[in-house]
Structure 1
Amino acid sequence: MNDDIQLPCFHEAFFRRERRSVPAAREFTTRVLSDWRLTARRDDVLLCVSELATNALLHGVPPGRGYRLQLALDYVGLLRVEVHDSGPGLARVRETTARDEDEYGRGLALVSALADKWGVDERNPGKIVWCEWSLS
């Protein structure tokens, strides 16, 4: 981590319920990580952002709504990504294993494997799905 960065750092963006919001969320995250001069685990972070944004679109964002993506970096080098949606239910890793030919079902398993920690918090309405990496 670069000592020139003013900590703590926080950025957020709102994305509408549309297919192009997932690449837009990745682009937003890429810009923020570049601004913060973070290269460690960049690919892991971007993949997790893609998975959480996709899950929000598929399962957590009712028609006419959107989701909020927040990125925060604290004094001890903890990077936290949060996706806030307004849909019902809680996100969880599927208990059954996705088959090779399945197009869905691996997102949160990937997040669980790539992030140091992840979880789900309630919000009204909806939920916050988050993941964290220690970069120090």
Structure 2
Amino acid sequence: MPCEPESARRARLLVSVALNTWGIDELAENGVQIVAELVNNAVRHTRCRVVRVRVTRPAEGVVRIGVADRCRDTPQQGHADDESESGRGLSLVEALSRRWGYDRKHWGKVVWAELEVQATEASGAC
């Protein structure tokens, strides 16, 4: 996707469709918020031309949402006060996910967050 603010909308749709397809649409609200924050961070803090959004199931009961860009700068969690208009994105990602992090690549990085699928949801998912 182009590294522009409008791509956050497309990324939210991608996550929503993936989670609905897997029958775990209960995670959609958190998933779309997470991907929007990750895409917006890439747009705001990198000089990338494109971002790649991936939604995977790396293990039983886990959904991973990742946003890749060609910038090697690592994400830094902000420390916003009550008056700040920005700096809360990764704190929100942390609050909504079971864990988050990043993987450095030779071409850039992938910032990701994982959602936990509840046992009753995981058993019915494809």
Q: What SS does the aligned partner of 1:41 have?
A: helix
Distance 1:26 1:105 in 2: 20
Q: What are the ranges of 5 or more consecutive residues in structure 2 without an aligned counterpart?
A: 120-126
TM-score relative to the length of structure 1: 0.79
Number of residue pairs the alignment of both structures matches: 118
Identical pairs, percent? 32
The answer to whether structure 1 residue 132 and structure 2 residue 114 are counterparts is yes
In the alignment, is the contact (CA less than 8 A) between 1:25 and 1:50 conserved in 2? Answer: yes
Alignment partner, residue 71 of structure 1: 55
RMSD: 1.5
The answer to whether structure 1 residue 101 and structure 2 residue 101 are counterparts is no
Q: What SS does the aligned partner of 2:25 have?
A: coil
In the alignment, is the contact (CA less than 8 A) between 2:53 and 2:66 conserved in 1? Answer: yes
Q: What are the ranges of 5 or more consecutive residues in structure 1 without an aligned counterpart?
A: 1-14
> Of Structure 1 and Structure 2, which has the larger fraction of its residues in helix?
2
Distance 2:31 2:23 in 1: 14
Q: How does 1:1-136 map to 2 (within 5 A)?
A: 15-62=1-48, 65-74=49-58, 76-94=60-78, 97-135=79-117, 136=119
In the alignment, is the contact (CA less than 8 A) between 2:11 and 2:35 conserved in 1? Answer: yes
Amino acid at match of 1:29: V
Runs of 4+ in 1 over 3 A off after TM superposition: none
Q: What SS does the aligned partner of 1:127 have?
A: strand
TM-score relative to the length of structure 2: 0.85
